[in-house]
């Protein structure tokens, strides 16, 4: 069976490394103690970028010696791959990280290790979210890149799963909803407390057809009155309340991530 996995990348690898005896001294030596909790605009992000290759070497050595327990991404992914009986050489892994130095470093290390195990890996970098507007951009990129690529895999006969374990929790929620709307095969999660994989229900979801049509009508911004004339006031208010559509400066338009979903389904 050919399998594909969408895996958001968090910073559990960095935290686990920092708590190890060797890693603790390495992190302190580079001046990046607490790096798994750096905000996107922390100035120490640039220290990580400036020492990217030596830090990557240390982290890869840690992953090679620790194995899948080194990070939430690896422990959940590899356990599911074994359970599904997928050979690494026939498994595509779609990793995506935010555009911070810490997240990109973690993704690069995880990708390198997975390639050593024989997996075929793709890496994507998306907008980091410092505000609601930036979250909107980030989620649009997730749908546009990761979900679009996953749908292409599904059309080619791959069994496609989403790993909801790592990453920012709001991000994982968006990704899970997008996966259900896109009709992907499975969504899984591994809780740290009981160290076992939970497969989440994946009922086939669809945007209501009247919602889908309305979202497509609002691909280009319209004046509020014109939008009400096209869709009806009640429908427009519902779409705004459900955060599928936004109103700014008297103009109404579909939220970009909702528009992507409407076009994909």
What crossing angle do the helices spanning 101-116 and 52-66 adopt, rounded to 10°?
50
**Domain limit, last residue, from 200, 225, 245:** 200
Q: What's the pLDDT score for residue 204? A: 77
- b/e per residue 56-72 (b: at least 16 CB within 10 A): eebbbebbeebebebbb
Q: Are residues 218 and 182 in the same domain?
A: no
Q: What's the pLDDT score for residue 193? A: 64
Q: Are residues 135 and 228 in the same domain?
A: no
DSSP string, 184-234: -SEEEEEETTTTEEEEEP-------HHHHHHHHHTSS-EEHHHHHHHH-HH
pLDDT in tens, the chain (265 residues): 899 999 989 899 999 999 999 999 999 999 999 999 998 889 999 999 999 999 999 999 999 999 999 999 999 999 999 999 999 999 999 998 888 999 999 999 999 999 999 999 999 887 665 555 666 677 777 766 777 778 788 889 999 999 988 766 677 777 788 788 778 899 999 876 667 888 988 887 788 899 999 999 999 999 999 999 999 999 999 999 988 898 988 899 998 778 877 887 6
Cα dist from 241 to 51, 149, 223, 251, whole Å: 45, 30, 18, 16
Q: Are residues 257 and 172 in the same domain?
A: no
> SS3 of 95, please?
strand
Q: Are residues 243 and 150 in the same domain?
A: no
Provide the domain limits for residue 103. 3-200
CATH code for the domain of 170: 3.40.50.10770
Q: Are residues 102 and 177 in the same domain?
A: yes
Quick one: how many helices (H) and strands (E) in the chain?
13, 9
Q: Are residues 222 and 184 in the same domain?
A: no
Q: Are residues 238 and 160 in the same domain?
A: no
**Domain limit, last residue, from 167, 200, 233:** 200
Q: 45 near 52, Cβ under 8 Å?
A: no
Q: How far is it, in rounded angstroms, from Cα 79 to Cα 262?
A: 33
Q: Are residues 50 and 167 in the same domain?
A: yes
Q: What's the pLDDT score for residue 265? A: 66
Structurally, the chain folds into a number of domains equal to: 2
Q: Are residues 157 and 219 in the same domain?
A: no
Q: Are residues 171 and 246 in the same domain?
A: no
CATH code for the domain of 240: 1.10.10
Q: Are residues 167 and 216 in the same domain?
A: no
Q: Are residues 35 and 60 in the same domain?
A: yes
Q: How far is it, in rounded angstroms, from Cα 127 to Cα 137?
A: 7
Q: Does the global pTM surpass 0.85?
A: no
Nearest to 86 by CA among 152, 4, 149: 4
- b/e per residue 137-173 (b: at least 16 CB within 10 A): bbbbbbbbbbbebbbebbeeebbbbbbbbbbbeebbe
> SS3 of 54, please?
helix
**Domain limit, last residue, from 157, 180, 200:** 200
């Amino acid at each position: 069976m050919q399998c594909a996995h969408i895996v958001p990348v968090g910073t559990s690898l960095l935290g686990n490394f920092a708590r190890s005896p060797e890693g603790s001294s390495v992190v302190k030596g580079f001046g990046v103690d607490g790096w798994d909790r750096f905000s996107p605009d922390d100035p120490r992000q640039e220290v990580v970028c400036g020492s990217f290759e030596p830090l990557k070497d240390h982290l890869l050595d840690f992953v090679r010696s620790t194995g899948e327990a080194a990070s939430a991404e690896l422990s959940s992914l590899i356990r599911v791959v074994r359970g599904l009986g997928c050979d690494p050489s026939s498994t595509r892994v779609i990793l995506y990280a935010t555009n911070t130095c810490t997240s990109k470093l973690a993704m690069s290390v995880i990708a390198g290790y997975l390639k050593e195990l024989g997996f075929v890996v793709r890496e994507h970098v998306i907008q980091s979210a410092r505000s609601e507007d930036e979250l909107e951009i980030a989620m649009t990129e997730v749908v546009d890149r990761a979900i679009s690529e996953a749908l292409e895999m599904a059309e080619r006969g791959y069994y496609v799963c989403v790993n909801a374990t790592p990453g920012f929790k709001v991000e994982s929620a968006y990704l899970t909803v997008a996966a259900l709307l896109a009709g992907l095969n499975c969504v899984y999660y591994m809780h740290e407390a009981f160290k076992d994989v939970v497969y989440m229900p994946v009922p086939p979801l669809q945007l209501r057809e009247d919602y889908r049509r309305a979202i497509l009508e609002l691909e280009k911004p319209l004046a509020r009155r014109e939008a009400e004339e096209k869709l009806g006031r009640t429908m427009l208010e519902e779409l705004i309340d459900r955060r599928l559509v936004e109103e700014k400066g008297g103009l109404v338009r579909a939220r970009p991530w909702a528009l992507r979903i409407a076009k994909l389904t």
